[in-house]
Structure 1
Amino acid sequence: MRKFSMFLAFCGIASVVAGPAYGQGAPRQQKAVPAPRPAAQAEATVPAAAAATDEKSAKAIDGFRSSKFGMNEADVRAAITKDFGVKPDAIKSQDNPAELTRSVLLAVPDLLPSGGTAEVSYVFGYKSKTLIQVGTVWSKGTDPAMTPEKLFSNANILRAHFLGEGFKPDTIAVNTPVAGGVLMFRGSDAKDRSVILLLQGTFETKENNQRVLTPTGLLLFYVADTKSPDVFKLPPGQF
């Protein structure tokens, strides 16, 4: 099973996904980049209403489906069985020795219609022992039949969905090149809970110095707190 880092450091995008909290300034709406398309070099498109937000219909990020931030592990396990109709023994557990968090994970076929099998991870905080993050990954590791084209299709479907969800305009970033891939979408709600969508892969330079990404994985995160995540940190002054 894949480990999901609270800090997303393995993606090399901590400062990007955190936005203003990390001193990066308000993220700008990025121009579409051709890199995400695996089989062609046409530009990825972004809906024109990407930053149009009606505060009354603004998206609230409170977890994933029936699993809500703040739930304990027993309640999340019950929510998972309700959401996906799985038996309890289909839900695995995993500890993160660096962050001292705990996760429960399961494989979900066609979490997106015809999108292939994904692995969903529910992370419980170091101190609170309650749900602080939900992560999903699509890759050949979760589905041997996964292709770059399907990963790119899944990424486009999710990005278009999130762009219509009414996140705070000054938190929205799309199609942002980062180490190891492209940040397809990031947005936060009024309580600074965030959605992060990252298309990972390898870049090649094609004709006219155009960089093209061949996707190897798609990561989706729902994060309760990107500023002060509930993970273990050494107290100041000890080392």
Structure 2
Amino acid sequence: MAITPTGPAAAQAATAASMHQVDGFRSARFGMSLQQVRKAIAQDFNAGADAVSEMDNAAEGTRVVLVKLNALEPGPGPAVVSYIFANATQQLRHVNVVWQSGPAPSEAQRNQYAVAGIQLTRYFRELNWKPEGSVVAVANGPGSILLFAGIDPKNAMVEVVASGIPLSGANGQPAAAPTGPAQLRVSYASTVPAQAAIAPNAVPPGAF
């Protein structure tokens, strides 16, 4: 299975009230305190105390709560969920969900990550996003692809990125065989990062 980079997704006509809202991940909501998020983690996952840890990211000026899970659908295998808090406000602002294989996965294992990425992309594509506020299947550097990114009316964002999976090259020809681990990442952000692949207010329409 190979995923072909294409271009922006077709914008869906929708009123602000009917558009999808990116409020956080599961029970954890943007703006929650660390203590509130820890309660949300206990509610969402059957994770033991040894599966939850905290760390500071001095370079980013953030506090991070990490949850290691043995499994989390739809991704294959173990996952790590990172809840990121701004030091200035001590409030949740970003969540990353990452599935990653071992250093040398088989072709079948790489395809499992690709299939999970496609499932997530289909799910998010069916939601209503702000006009010209979503893209699909955009090359994201060597061996990496932005499967989906969407922005809600408040400029909160979700994106799905995969790497180390089979991709198609130019003119539909197979790209170089992937190397290294396979990874699938879903990110939820309370505001659109400066380096985001789509801008809050201008994404040309297209089709997947």
With structure 1 as the length reference, what TM-score do the two structures score?
0.68
Instruction: Give the equivalent residue in structure 2 for 1:165.
Output: 127
Structure 1 contact 99–126 (Cα < 8 Å) conserved? no
- Structure 1: give runs of 5+ residues left out of the alignment: 1-36, 230-239
Code of the aligned partner of 1:73: L
Equivalent position of 1:52 in the other structure: 12
2:35 paired with 1:74: yes
- Code of the aligned partner of 2:114: F
For residues 67-216 of structure 1, what are the structure 2 equivalents within 5 Å? 67-113=28-74, 115-140=76-101, 147-180=109-142, 181-201=144-164, 210-212=173-175, 214=178, 216=182
Q: 1:209 to 1:60 in 2, by over 3 A?
A: closer
- Kept in 2: contact 1:124–1:130 (CA 8 A): yes
* CA distance 1:205–1:222, change in 2 (3 Å): closer
Q: Partner of 1:7 in structure 2?
A: none
Q: CA deviation at 1:87?
A: 3.1
- In 1, the alpha carbon distance for the partners of 2:38 and 2:69 equals 14
Structure 2: state its 5+ residue gaps: 196-208
Q: Determine which structure has greater relative contact order: mean sequence separation of CA pairs < 8 Å that are 6+ residues apart, divided by chain length.
A: 2
After TM superposition, where is structure 1 displaced by more than 4 Å over at least 4 residues in a row?
42-46, 202-209
Closer, same or farther in 2 for the Cα pair 1:122/1:112, shift >3 Å?
same
The answer to whether the 8 A contact 2:32-2:92 is kept is: yes
Letter of the 2:112 partner, please give it.
K
- The number of residues matched between the two structures is 187
Which range moved further: 108-117 or 122-131?
Answer: 108-117
The 8 Å contact of residues 81 and 88 in structure 1, kept in 2 or not, is answered as no
Give me the whole-angstrom Cα distance separating, in 2, the residues matched to 1:173 and 1:164.
12
Query: Counterparts of 2:186 and 2:93 in 1: how far apart (Å)?
Result: 14
Once the two structures are superposed, residues 81-116 of structure 1 have per-residue CA deviations (whole angstroms, 9 ceiling, x without a partner) of 111122334211122121121111112233214732
With over 3 angstroms needed to count, the CA separation of the structure-2 counterparts of 1:149 and 1:189, relative to structure 1, is: same
Cα offsets for 1:175-215 (capped at 9, x unmatched): 00011311100101000000011111378887978243637
Q: Distance in 2 between matches of 1:60 and 1:167?
A: 8
Asked if 2 retains the 8 angstrom alpha-carbon contact of 1:155 and 1:218, the reply is yes
* C-alpha deviation, 1:44, in angstroms: 7.7
Task: Give the TM-score taking structure 2 as reference length.
Answer: 0.77
Query: Does residue 63 in structure 1 map to residue 29 in structure 2?
Result: no
User: Which amino acid is the alignment partner of residue 115 of structure 2?
Assistant: S
Partner secondary structure for residue 12 of structure 2? coil
- How far apart, CA to CA, are the structure 1 residues paired with 2:5 and 2:117? 11
Q: Secondary structure at the match of 1:148?
A: helix
